[in-house]
Amino acid sequence: MKKVVIKEVEKNLVILDIMLYVVFTVVGFILLNFSNIELLNPINYASPLFYMFGFFSLLIYFFNRSNRDYEFLIFGFINVCVASFILVFQTFPDTGFILSDAILVYSICNVINKGYSCKNMLKNKDLNFFPKVSVTILLLLLGVFVVSSLYLKSEVGSLILGYYFIIFGLLSMLEPLMSILIKNVKFEQFMLDKLSYNDEVKEEKIIKPRVLKKQKIKRINKKD
């Protein structure tokens, strides 16, 4: 019964992750499909959008909190900081420059945040490392492309932000979806065998009893 409960909880947590990235995707489609938004300066609504993303990220962190995993917490603060940056420099004449700088900071901070999570996963031999590192690299390339586009074509900032949020949401969504596949017992066993993780675990189990026996022998000899 306990195993079933754990699986249900994990599914709920993955669904929350997916819902967050769905919000990114929906916002992107709204920016593309509502003609009235094109009449507005992107810098006027970019700040509220990032504040909204920050709120949902922090909310999901507190619902989806796990031991020593602060990725969503940091992601929430990144959104809040970028929103505040845009708000402070909202009156700056060159809005394309401000937006491009904001996306640049946003991309760099997200890559560092995800990179740190990748490091912990690799250390713990977590198979989710592979989708996460792939998504991290793709998001970095996306950020570079968007930053250069905003510098050169600030007049179509709404379209650029729209496509950015759509692609960001869809790429990030791959991570929780791949985690569902990885939790499949057969697939997980296949990957562990390919990566020789099972062999390392067996070696650790063999070595530990030997070490314990040696320690016991030493203690007995000391007593004698």
Could you list the residue range(s) of the whole structural domain that residue 176 is in? 2-183
In a domain, 66, yes or no: yes
- Band of pLDDT at residue 2, cut at 50, 70 and 90: very low
Rounded Cα distance between 121 and 114, Å, is 10
Count the domains in the chain.
Answer: 1
The confidence score (pLDDT) of residue 109 equals: 95
The C-alpha angle with vertex 137 and arms to 200 and 53, in degrees rounded to 5, equals 110
| CA dist list (Å): 37 to 44, 85, 155 | 10, 22, 13
> For residue 171, which of 147, 129, 135 has the smallest C-alpha distance?
135
Is residue 4 over pLDDT 70?
Answer: no
**How large is the average pLDDT for residues 120-128?**
81
Question: Whole-model pTM?
Answer: 0.77
Cβ neighbors of 154 (< 8 A, separation 6 or more) are 94, 95, 96, 97, 99, 100
Q: What is the pLDDT of residues 175-209, one digit of tens each?
A: 888 888 777 666 666 666 666 655 454 444 444 45
The confidence score (pLDDT) of residue 39 equals: 67
How many Cβ atoms are within 10 Å of 111's Cβ, its own excluded? 16
Phi, psi dihedral angles at 69 (to 5 degrees): -120, 105
The confidence score (pLDDT) of residue 205 equals: 46
In a domain, 50, yes or no: yes
How many Cβ atoms are within 10 Å of 59's Cβ, its own excluded? 14
The confidence score (pLDDT) of residue 153 equals: 75
In a domain, 44, yes or no: yes
The confidence score (pLDDT) of residue 67 equals: 63
Q: What is the pLDDT of residues 40-93, one digit of tens each?
A: 778 888 999 999 999 999 998 888 776 677 889 999 999 999 999 999 988 877
The mean pLDDT value of the chain amounts to: 78
Query: Helix 42-63 and helix 2-33: axis angle, to 10°?
Result: 180
Rounded Cα distance between 122 and 113, Å, is 15
In a domain, 147, yes or no: yes
Q: Burial level of 178, CB count in 10 A (0-12/13-18/19+)?
A: middle
Would you state the structure tokens that stand for residue 20, as one six-digit string? 């967050």
In a domain, 87, yes or no: yes
Rounded Cα distance between 218 and 135, Å, is 51
- Of 216 and 93, the structure prediction assigns the larger pLDDT to 93
Q: What is the pLDDT of residues 144-155, one digit of tens each?
A: 998 888 877 767
Rounded Cα distance between 92 and 37, Å, is 20
In a domain, 203, yes or no: no
Rounded Cα distance between 66 and 30, Å, is 33
In a domain, 193, yes or no: no
